[in-house]
């Protein structure tokens, strides 16, 4: 297999050009044994980014993968890697994820008393920085840092597992952040399907992560992505 050549500025430019709203398939729900094929298929199916869920078994009660696997997947696609670090000590590993070719690095506010230095470091490396907050974490926790991020990821389930039910109460956080900073990319993660996507986009979400809705809905990822896009078409 020939390695795909791509560079981060080009990938991030493509992500910006994709506009809003877009869906980012979460690889958590796909067949890891076929990752190169999955990524090639998602590109052909029109995905504009993929969402990578890194879990450390501490911050969340589940493990997934780390920078070495991401570096290998990077060789197989030029899709932007929207990377969600569900881990206790993201600063310790951040340069590994940057080196692996991640395009957006999202860290959790719950583990960072003051995330500014880390966010600035991420951005200084040409990578987009984001902050995520769990359903039980108040919106006020991220408001002091809106100038230090490129995106905010509002969790609409307790992180750790795919296939959970969307918690509509988190949409108040989306509305509050959108009102303060309409320019910021607002992302939502957990329980996204056609019906919840509509509500999320109406509240102001720009990037919607979808795992089981793309890979485990009984139709092909292509059909699943098309029906998700159709569900929010009036907002595009």
- Angle, helices 90-100/116-124, rounded to nearest 10 degrees: 10
- From residue 226, how far is each of 73, 196, 204, 214 by CA, in Å? 24, 15, 20, 10
183 belongs to the catalytic site: no
Comparing every residue's Cβ against ligand DX5, the nearest one is: 211
Residues 176-215 contacting Zn ion, CB under 5 A: 189
Helices (H) and strands (E) in the chain, counts: 9, 8
Measured CA angle at 58 (ends 70, 211), to 5 deg: 50
108 binds Zn ion per the rule CB under 5 A: no
Distance CA 132, CA 51 (A): 13
Tokens of 5: 């050549």
Q: Which does 29 bind (CB under 5 to 8 A by kind): Zn ion, ligand DX5, none?
A: ligand DX5
- 3-state class of 12 per DSSP? helix
Distance CA 145, CA 150 (A): 10
Stretch that binds ligand DX5, among 1-9, 25-33, 144-152, 194-202 (CB under 6 A): 25-33
Site string for ligand DX5, 57-86 (x = CB under 6 A): ---------------------------x--
Q: Which does 109 bind (CB under 5 to 8 A by kind): ligand DX5, Zn ion, none?
A: none
108 binds ligand DX5 per the rule CB under 6 A: no
Q: State the minimum distance, in angstroms, from the CB of residue 159 to ligand DX5.
A: 4
User: Which residues in this chain contact ligand DX5 in the complex, by CB under 6 A?
Assistant: 26, 28-29, 51, 53, 84, 157, 159-164, 189-192, 209-213
Q: Active-site residue numbers?
A: 53, 189
């Amino acid at each position: 297999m020939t390695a795909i050549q791509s560079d981060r500025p080009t990938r991030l430019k493509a992500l910006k050009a994709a506009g809003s709203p877009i869906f980012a398939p979460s690889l958590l729900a796909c067949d890891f044994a076929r990752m190169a094929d999955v990524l090639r298929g998602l590109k052909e199916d029109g995905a504009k980014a993929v969402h990578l869920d890194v879990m450390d078994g501490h911050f969340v009660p589940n493990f997934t993968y780390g920078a070495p696997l991401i570096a290998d997947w990077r060789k197989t696609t030029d899709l932007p890697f929207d990377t969600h670090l569900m881990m206790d000590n993201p600063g310790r590993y951040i340069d590994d994820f940057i080196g692996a070719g991640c395009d957006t690095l999202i860290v959790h506010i719950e583990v960072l008393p003051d995330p500014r230095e880390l966010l600035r470091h991420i951005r200084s490396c040409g990578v987009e920085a984001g902050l995520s907050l769990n359903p039980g974490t108040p919106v006020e926790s991220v408001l002091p840092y809106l100038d230090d991020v490129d995106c905010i990821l509002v969790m609409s389930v307790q992180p750790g597992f795919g296939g959970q039910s969307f918690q509509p109460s988190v949409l108040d956080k989306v509305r509050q952040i959108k009102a303060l900073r309409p320019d910021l990319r607002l992302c939502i993660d957990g329980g996204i399907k056609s019906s919840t996507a509509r509500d999320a986009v109406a509240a102001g979400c720009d990037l919607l992560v979808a795992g089981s809705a793309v890979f485990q809905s009984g139709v092909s990822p292509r059909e699943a992505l098309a029906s998700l896009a159709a569900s929010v078409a009036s907002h595009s």
